[in-house]
């Protein structure tokens, strides 16, 4: 006789055996969208190309060859050092196998001395293992140390074990070849976008002068080869559609050993052109990885350009009275190619489209600003032509803002008394922060940019508006104040809405990084989705992400004491690792945990959450579900009659959530 133990209130069939632990590459196959783009396989091929480029960046390779085979597979060949194929000292398995079958296994964790790479785009160690997981077949051949090794996978599993033999006469001495057959089950279409691939390969050649990059298409029997000896400026000059107003501004700067702020080798190379018309060219890279969504290195370039141009204009007294210059005035007609080197880059997401490393802003700006100031003082006539362009942009912007102010100034609504408004009436610049609590609101008011940032503090928990009739919304004082401050009336998804009264281009939810803060965030998102859907549709609603930790690093040698902020545990670990590599033990780093926004000073809140150049601001969109499916999901979470459904959700997923109370 056997007895079974049932947990009171547990769902039928929910027991210890119901919990599934994903092993090996299973997480990638279950949720490929968390690791790569699923519209086409370009990104999983790019991971292999990036590895070849990292070898060239480290000075060990001069050639990269990509072949599009007639059977739909893609091969990437380099002449780098070759992936090691001996046994791993701790894992007891061939390193070549571990690289392609283990998440978070790679040679790019230990940056600086002792690591395989000083600078690389790879950080998480999941790149080519994701490629392998989402490929129906993958073959890798590594030439190294007088031997060649070959290994074959199918669906991420080894199907032909590693075979290692001595090199024969005439064989290449070193390098890696990876051939991938993308699995059509994981992608909307299995064909690579040829235009994007061509642009990617050409950019690699641009960023690595002297390295030859070749693309072979077996189907069309075409071969393209790129090698740029002129670097970024030649590439930008060839790509521009219009003639530059002044000669291209190009330069580079890298930190030397013992630099007080940056690691040896960190820095940037750039080429900037200013045009009066035509489409702009804006490309940025971090350790040769393209960042199409920009990031803090782009912000550093913008900051450096702005400070240098403003300094030149002030020195020569060129600015008319009443004209206030802003960074976007300088940047409005700037085309650029930027290549940054960052020791430990922090990217937004695995596909690395945006750089989030806070130090990159200071890094790029520190080299761009003095270089441009010197160039402008050496070429005064070119500087004056650029100043005219910038001043015209500022005057046009101010005229547009004045028109908006006249149109909106006749409104009869009285703004809420607790709203601390901004000075500007330029919709494209204005931001409203809905801040949890009066203490955090006070810090936000003191730390904000009063020209363009407004603050509306909220007291306590907001009303759950999911089932509130629209004509009853204004009975709640908090919701009334939000609607009046925004300047848009509540509406439904099919209503004709007048957005001309909108007072802020960005409406930002700012709450504590704890359970109560998350609750307030959900209540506000419910309000906007249910009663202000056009604001979400038009891209006006955002969620600010304040950091959880502050790390105080003591002075070491010539380097002064510094402060670093981490969004989560992962970033905290990365900061501590970087400090350890710079000779500061973890025990000497003081770690502070922010329990709420009220603990932050005005300066800290500005640096981490309000400053447009360094903050994390997440746009609110529908995501993977359409409006109807999103409404059904929110109804399950917020509807009064859905308590049973919520309980089922908690029983199913409660153990997967880490709650910080």
For residue 352, say whether it is annotated as part of any ligand binding site: yes
Residue 27 has pLDDT above 80, yes or no: no
Q: Note the Cα 632 to chain centre separation in Å.
A: 30
- C-alpha distances (whole Å) from 309 to each of 302, 304, 335, 542 are 11, 9, 15, 31
Of 328-332, 477-481, 572-576, which one has max mean pLDDT? 328-332
Report pLDDT digits (tens) over 366-389.
999 999 999 999 999 999 999 999
| Whole-angstrom distance, CA of residue 405 vs CA of residue 322 | 17
- pLDDT confidence band for 408 (50 / 70 / 90): very low
Query: Which residue, chain included where needed, has tokens 């930008």?
Result: 236
Kindly tell me the burial class for residue 334, based on how many C-beta atoms sit within 10 Å of its own C-beta (0-12, 13-18, 19 or more). buried
Residue 338 has pLDDT above 60, yes or no: yes
For residue 14, say whether it is annotated as part of any ligand binding site: yes
pLDDT of residue 238: 86
Q: Which residues carry out catalysis?
A: 436, 512, 514, 516
> Number of H helices and number of E strands within the chain?
18, 21
pTM attached to this predicted model: 0.65
pLDDT of residue 515: 78
Report pLDDT digits (tens) over 421-431.
999 888 889 99
- C-alpha distances (whole Å) from 218 to each of 47, 74, 120, 197 are 22, 10, 31, 15
pLDDT of residue 368: 97
pLDDT of residue 1: 41
Report pLDDT digits (tens) over 423-457.
988 888 999 999 988 778 888 999 999 999 999 99
The whole-number average pLDDT for the span 70-77 is 96
For residue 132, say whether it is annotated as part of any ligand binding site: no
> Tell me, what DSSP letter sits at residue 295?
B
For residue 82, say whether it is annotated as part of any ligand binding site: no
Report pLDDT digits (tens) over 124-165.
335 788 899 999 999 999 999 999 999 999 998 999 999 999
Element (H, E) at 341: strand 334-341
The whole-number average pLDDT for the span 267-271 is 96
Residue 640 structure tokens: 């009064």
Residue 72 has pLDDT above 50, yes or no: yes
Tell me the three state secondary structure of residue 262.
coil
Residue 224 structure tokens: 């393209």
Residue 411 has pLDDT above 70, yes or no: no
| Whole-angstrom distance, CA of residue 344 vs CA of residue 504 | 36
Report pLDDT digits (tens) over 574-610.
899 888 888 888 889 999 988 788 888 889 899 899 9
- pLDDT confidence band for 655 (50 / 70 / 90): low
For residue 128, say whether it is annotated as part of any ligand binding site: yes
The percent of residues above 70 in pLDDT, for the chain, comes to 89
Contacts of 121 (CB under 8 A, 6+ apart): 50, 53, 54, 286, 287, 288, 289, 345, 352
pLDDT of residue 650: 77
Contact indicator for 365, 434 with CB cutoff of 8 Å: no
For residue 125, say whether it is annotated as part of any ligand binding site: yes
Residue 5 has pLDDT above 60, yes or no: no
| Whole-angstrom distance, CA of residue 618 vs CA of residue 395 | 31
pLDDT of residue 300: 96
- pLDDT confidence band for 170 (50 / 70 / 90): confident
pLDDT of residue 541: 97
pLDDT of residue 562: 87
Residue 263 has pLDDT above 60, yes or no: yes
| Whole-angstrom distance, CA of residue 619 vs CA of residue 509 | 10
> Tell me, what DSSP letter sits at residue 470?
G
Residue 247 has pLDDT above 90, yes or no: yes
Report pLDDT digits (tens) over 180-190.
999 999 998 99
The whole-number average pLDDT for the span 564-578 is 88
Domains of the chain: 26-224 (3.30.565.10), 232-402 (3.30.230.10)
For residue 127, say whether it is annotated as part of any ligand binding site: yes
For residue 287, say whether it is annotated as part of any ligand binding site: no
Report pLDDT digits (tens) over 82-110.
999 888 887 778 888 888 987 754 444 34
For residue 88, say whether it is annotated as part of any ligand binding site: no
pLDDT of residue 120: 45
pLDDT of residue 649: 73
Residue 560 structure tokens: 């002064």
pLDDT of residue 93: 82
What mean pLDDT value characterizes the chain?
85
Contacts of 254 (CB under 8 A, 6+ apart): 265, 266, 267, 268, 341, 367
Phi, psi of 68 (to 5 degrees): -95, 105
Residue 392 has pLDDT above 80, yes or no: yes
Residue 557 has pLDDT above 80, yes or no: no
- pLDDT confidence band for 397 (50 / 70 / 90): confident
Residue 476 has pLDDT above 90, yes or no: no
Contact indicator for 176, 80 with CB cutoff of 8 Å: yes
| Whole-angstrom distance, CA of residue 31 vs CA of residue 43 | 15
């Amino acid at each position: 006789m056997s007895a079974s133990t049932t947990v009171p209130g547990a769902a039928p069939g929910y027991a210890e055996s119901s919990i599934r632990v994903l092993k090996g590459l299973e997480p990638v196959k279950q949720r490929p969208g968390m690791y790569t783009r699923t519209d086409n396989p370009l990104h999983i091929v790019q991971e292999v190309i990036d590895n070849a480029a990292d070898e060239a960046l480290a000075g060990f390779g001069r050639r990269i060859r990509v072949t599009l085979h007639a059977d739909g597979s893609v091969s990437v060949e380099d002449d780098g050092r070759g992936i090691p194929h001996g046994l791993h000292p701790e894992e007891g398995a061939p390193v070549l196998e571990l690289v392609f079958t283990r998440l978070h296994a790679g040679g790019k964790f230990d940056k600086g001395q002792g690591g395989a790479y000083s600078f690389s785009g790879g950080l998480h160690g999941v790149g080519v293992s994701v490629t392998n997981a989402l490929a129906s077949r993958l073959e890798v051949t590594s030439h190294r140390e007088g031997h060649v090794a070959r290994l074959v996978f199918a669906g991420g599993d080894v199907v032909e074990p590693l075979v290692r033999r001595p090199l024969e006469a005439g064989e290449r001495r070193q390098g890696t070849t990876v051939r991938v057959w993308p699995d059509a089950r994981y992608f909307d279409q299995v064909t690579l976008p040829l235009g994007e691939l061509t642009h990617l390969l050409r950019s690699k050649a641009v960023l690595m002068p002297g390295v030859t990059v070749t693309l072979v298409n077996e189907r069309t029997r075409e071969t393209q080869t790129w090698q740029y000896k002129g670097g970024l400026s030649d590439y930008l000059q060839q790509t521009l559609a219009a003639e530059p107003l002044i000669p291209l501004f190009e330069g580079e700067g890298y930190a030397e050993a013992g630099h007080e702020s940056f690691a040896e080798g960190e820095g940037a190379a750039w080429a900037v052109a200013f045009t009066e018309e035509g489409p702009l060219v804006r490309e940025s890279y971090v350790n040769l990885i393209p960042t199409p969504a920009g990031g803090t290195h782009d912000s550093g370039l913008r900051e450096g350009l702005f400070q240098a141009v403003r300094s030149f204009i002030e020195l020569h007294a060129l600015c008319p009275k009443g004209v206030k210059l802003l960074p976007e005035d300088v940047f409005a007609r700037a085309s650029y190619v930027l290549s940054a080197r960052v020791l430990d880059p922090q990217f937004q997401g695995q596909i690395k489209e945006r750089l989030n490393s806070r130090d990159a802003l200071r890094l790029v700006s520190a080299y761009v600003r003095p270089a441009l100031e010197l160039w402008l003082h050496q070429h005064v006539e070119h500087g004056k032509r650029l100043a005219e362009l910038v001043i015209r942009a500022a005057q046009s912007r101010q005229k547009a803002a004045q028109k908006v102010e006249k149109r909106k100034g006749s409104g009869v609504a009285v703004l809420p008394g607790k709203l601390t408004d901004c000075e500007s009436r330029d919709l494209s610049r204005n931001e409203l922060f809905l801040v949890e609590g009066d203490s955090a609101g006070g810090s936000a008011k003191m730390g904000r940019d009063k020209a363009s940032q407004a603050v509306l503090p909220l007291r306590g928990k907001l009303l759950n508006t999911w089932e509130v009739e629209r004509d009853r919304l204004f009975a709640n004082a908090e919701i009334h104040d939000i609607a009046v401050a925004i300047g848009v009336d509540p509406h439904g998804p099919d209503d004709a809405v007048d957005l001309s009264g909108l007072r802020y281009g960005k409406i930002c939810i700012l709450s504590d990084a704890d359970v109560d803060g998350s609750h307030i965030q959900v209540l506000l998102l419910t309000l906007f989705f249910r009663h202000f859907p056009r604001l979400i549709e038009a891209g006006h609603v955002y969620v600010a992400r304040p950091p959880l930790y502050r790390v105080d690093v003591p002075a070491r040698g010539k380097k002064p004491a510094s402060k670093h902020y981490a969004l989560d545990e992962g970033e905290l670990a990365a900061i501590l690792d970087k400090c350890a590599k710079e000779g500061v033990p973890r025990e000497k780093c003081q770690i502070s945990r922010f329990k709420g926004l009220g603990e932050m000073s005005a300066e800290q809140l500005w640096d981490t959450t309000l400053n447009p150049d360094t903050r994390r601001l997440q746009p609110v969109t529908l995501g993977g579900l359409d409006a109807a499916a999103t409404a059904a999901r929110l109804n399950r979470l917020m509807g009064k009659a859905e308590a049973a459904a919520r309980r089922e959700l908690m029983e199913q997923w409660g153990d997967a959530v880490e709650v910080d109370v």
